[in-house]
Amino acid sequence: MFNTRGWIALGLLSAFALPAMAQSFRVQCPTSTITHPNAASNNSEPANIGPGVKGAIKCQQISGGDGYATMGDGTQTYLFSFGPLSGLADIARGLPGTEFPSVFNTVHAGAPLQPGDPATSGTTYNGAVGLVLDIPNLVSIFDISEVGNTVTVVGNSPLGVAVGDRVTISGQDTTGYNGTFTVTAINVPNSFFPANFAFRYTNTTAGLAAVNESATATAGLAPRIDGHVDPRPIMDVGVMNGNIPAPLMAIDEDDEFFLTLTNVGMIMRPDLFEQHTVHFHGYPNASAFYDGVPDASVAINIAASFTYYYLAPDAGTYFWHCHITPPEHLQMGMVGQLYVRPRQNRLTSATTLNAGLVTQQGDLRTACRRPNDGATPAVTTATDILCSNPVPAVLTTATGGGKYAYNDGDGSTAYDVEYPLQIHGFDPNFHFVGMTFNPEGFTDMKDKYFLLNGRSYPDTVSPGPLATQTVDGVMHFSQPLPAIINIPHGGRALLRISDLDVSEYQTLASLGIPMQVIGYNAKLLRDQAGNNLYYTTNSITLGGGESLDVILDTCLVRTTPGDPSSACNTTAVGATIAAGTYYLYTPNLDHLSNDAENFGGLMTEVHVN
């Protein structure tokens, strides 16, 4: 038995032919783009005002590498894994590490980040780990002179400035000129060098003597954020810092999402100079380039970064994972969660959800037309066979202001609290073999840890991050995301359930609270005529690579019957499910175990309180 990395090795042949010569970590998070040109409005979600790409810009950085996690029986298990390199504090709180540019593009200040962070220092930093101001672009000054308050600087080479740039003059013999100024003119003809070697700025001090051929004078562009990173904090934080599940991602419809994967290498497997990728599973009309399949695209080598670019697709529960040697990298732990929130969340209570959805039909990119949907121009047949949220067949008066799973137009996917839940399984033998330089067999793969958000019961109900000491002797937040479900009494919880098990189907059942399935594979369950096809059940079954959306509703009678966004009618008899503790568990009873322990496994608690 052996694991052959056929495709990877094919690629390595070309890597040998063109070796990467240097570290090349880098992040990308533009503050404005063609689609979102106004930098000032890209740091929050705007109000939904109809057709056109609204939204904002979101950025995230993740590491690809390895780490350890703690299983329900206390065993430490080796992982191939992703870890957070942005949103460290948010990830530690169980939140997405996806940030607006104003947060992502923040240079870390204070004591340096430590190995194990965010566990080590308890940092509150959410910016891009490693981000530093660019090294100033510097030229030596050949001649600097002044006429009135206008200074002309002639460099020994072009500085490459633009009018409006901030430039810093420094030198031992240019004291009166020194300081940071705004460039007022470029391409200045002069008697020494070509015009593009020179620029001008305005100095408050007039009458300075010219300084020619100074030995120390320099002109530099002010340091600025352009995606340059210092590799030291990236290696300090990113190495051996794997999470299971991988860092949580959440974006809003119309967002542009810049996701930087930084490959820090697998310290425990130096024999594997592996690439990693991100497959945004379910992205509609994906390009092969950003699809993350190494065979169909490119894959980033160790010591370098690749930024994936996505325009947020239709709302729904997606997920993501590495696509290098999937039976190995997924089993070893490179799986994560990703969801897209609907633009309907941006409607206010002054607008009906129906009107909002009808308005949205005016944008061809987001339209899902059906006959008699109230939008113009009228259509005679459904126009797109692969869209699932036409204007609902039953008109309701539900208004905005809430949180919704989909652009439902009727409030039927409203929820009070949401929980991403990812089903996974670990085969400890495979993980051990994977750690010890031995080739793994795939046919005999047999999961013995059954995981919800990377944890088995009872760890699933431990609040806060789970920490594991790795071989570097430092504690790391290996499993940041609890799987405990807290629902306010009478409230509705949205469970965003995905399954990335690589060997078998998994069933998850609910005791005491019915499961209403409202979405499947990141699509609203609705037919082309607008009828909701939700169904209520006590269990759901998923294979690897599937997701669905479940509502747990603890209110049985609403003040407005049929409108789940209306208040719970607590005066009615039997209006609510009693407060207390309920369970999500697997009826695959052999999966209620943690390896040899006949206890635990795929189970968690639902607290109604």
Site for other proteins in 21-40 (CB under 8 A): 21, 24, 26, 28, 30, 33-35
Among 114, 158, 188, 442, binds other proteins (CB under 8 A): 442
Among 207, 362, 543, 562, binds other proteins (CB under 8 A): 543
For 229, the 3-state DSSP assignment is strand
In angstroms, how far is CA 93 from the centroid of its own chain?
15
Q: What mask of x and - would describe binding to other proteins in positions 300 to 339, judged by CB under 8 A?
A: xx--xxxx-x-x-x---------x-xxxx-xx--------
Residue 545 touching other proteins (CB under 8 A):
yes
Q: Rounded CA gap, 160 and 183, in Å? A: 11
CB 50 within 8 A of CB 360: yes
Which residue do the tokens 């504090």 mark? 89
The nearest distance, CB 486 to other proteins, in angstroms, is 30
Q: What mask of x and - would describe binding to other proteins in positions 58 to 97, judged by CB under 8 A?
A: ----------------------------------------
Sort strands 417-426 and 492-499 into parallel, antiparallel or unpaired.
Answer: parallel
Residue 503 touching other proteins (CB under 8 A):
yes
The nearest distance, CB 281 to other proteins, in angstroms, is 7
Residue 361 touching other proteins (CB under 8 A):
no
Of 112-120, 154-162, 167-175, 520-528, the window that binds other proteins (rule: CB under 8 A) is 520-528
Among 149, 527, 537, 539, binds other proteins (CB under 8 A): 527
With contacts defined by CB under 8 A, how many residues of the chain interact with other proteins?
Answer: 108
The residue (of 129 and 300) whose beta carbon lies closer to other proteins is 300
- The token duo for 166 is 């901030």
The nearest distance, CB 525 to other proteins, in angstroms, is 7
Residue 134 touching other proteins (CB under 8 A):
no
Q: Rounded CA gap, 282 and 494, in Å? A: 19
The nearest distance, CB 126 to other proteins, in angstroms, is 22
Residue 258 touching other proteins (CB under 8 A):
yes
Sort strands 138-147 and 150-155 into parallel, antiparallel or unpaired.
Answer: antiparallel
Dihedral (CA of 381, 386, 391, 396) sign: positive
Restricting to residues 194-253, name those near other proteins by CB under 8 A: 227
The residue (of 5 and 607) whose beta carbon lies closer to other proteins is 5
Residue 521 touching other proteins (CB under 8 A):
yes
Which DSSP category does 13 fall into?
Answer: H
Restricting to residues 156-195, name those near other proteins by CB under 8 A: none
CB 602 within 8 A of CB 506: yes
Task: List phi, psi (to 5°) of 89.
Answer: -70, -40
Query: What are the angstrom distances between the C-alpha of 220 and each of 145, 159, 173, 175, 210?
Result: 17, 8, 16, 15, 19
Among 157, 212, 287, 539, binds other proteins (CB under 8 A): 287
Restricting to residues 560-599, name those near other proteins by CB under 8 A: none
The nearest distance, CB 445 to other proteins, in angstroms, is 5
Q: How many CB atoms lie within 10 A of CB 182?
A: 12
Q: Rounded CA gap, 46 and 68, in Å? A: 40
Residue 137 touching other proteins (CB under 8 A):
no
- The token duo for 321 is 């994972």
Task: List phi, psi (to 5°) of 434.
Answer: -65, -25
Residue 393 touching other proteins (CB under 8 A):
yes
Query: What are the angstrom distances between the C-alpha of 396 and each of 341, 528, 563?
Result: 21, 18, 8
